[in-house]
Amino acid sequence: MSPRREEYGGLLELTKFKPPIKMEDTVLETFPWGEIRWIWNKKIDENAEQTMGQVIINPGKKNTFHAHPNCEELLYVLSGECDHWVGDEKYHLKPGMTIIIPRNVEHYALVTSPEPLKALIFYSSPTRETKTLGI
């Protein structure tokens, strides 16, 4: 028995451990404003317990005003800057900052830097739902 299995009383199944994921193995989804590379979710692995992706929003562009009725979202900025609206509040995000968006709260990001916004996005559900609201 491996030390990892012993640490948890032998309750973990080895099938739960996955090899590292390469960016070229992710699922690309493109939009008029940029792209999302889906790294982890239930469509990728039926045993997934959350969703992870990398979003890129192009300079001067904004993603669609939307909400996630079944999960909260965390967004961690890697590069670029944006104004991010969460409900009626506006926050200016820079590299190294994280914003937490509660379940079913409307939000969108507008890139304010000359370079694209690149961020990691995390959702508390493996089957993230999105409700598009317009604007």
Q: What does pTM read for this prediction?
A: 0.85
Q: Which residue has the tokens 């390469």?
A: 22
Tokens of 91: 């926050």
Distance between CA atoms of residues 97 and 75, nearest Å? 8
pLDDT at res. 135: 58
> Could you list the pLDDT tens digit for every one of the 135 residues in the chain?
444 544 555 555 555 677 888 888 899 999 999 999 999 999 998 989 999 999 999 999 999 999 999 999 999 999 999 999 999 999 999 999 999 999 999 999 999 999 999 999 999 999 999 999 875
Residue 1 CB: number of other CB atoms within 10 A? Answer: 6
Q: Which domains does the chain have, with CATH numbers?
A: 19-134 (2.60.120.10)
Looking at the chain, list the stretches that DSSP marks H as alpha helix, in order from N- to C-terminal side: 3-7
Instruction: Please say whether the beta carbons of 44 and 97 come within 8 A.
Output: no
Distance between CA atoms of residues 97 and 66, nearest Å? 21
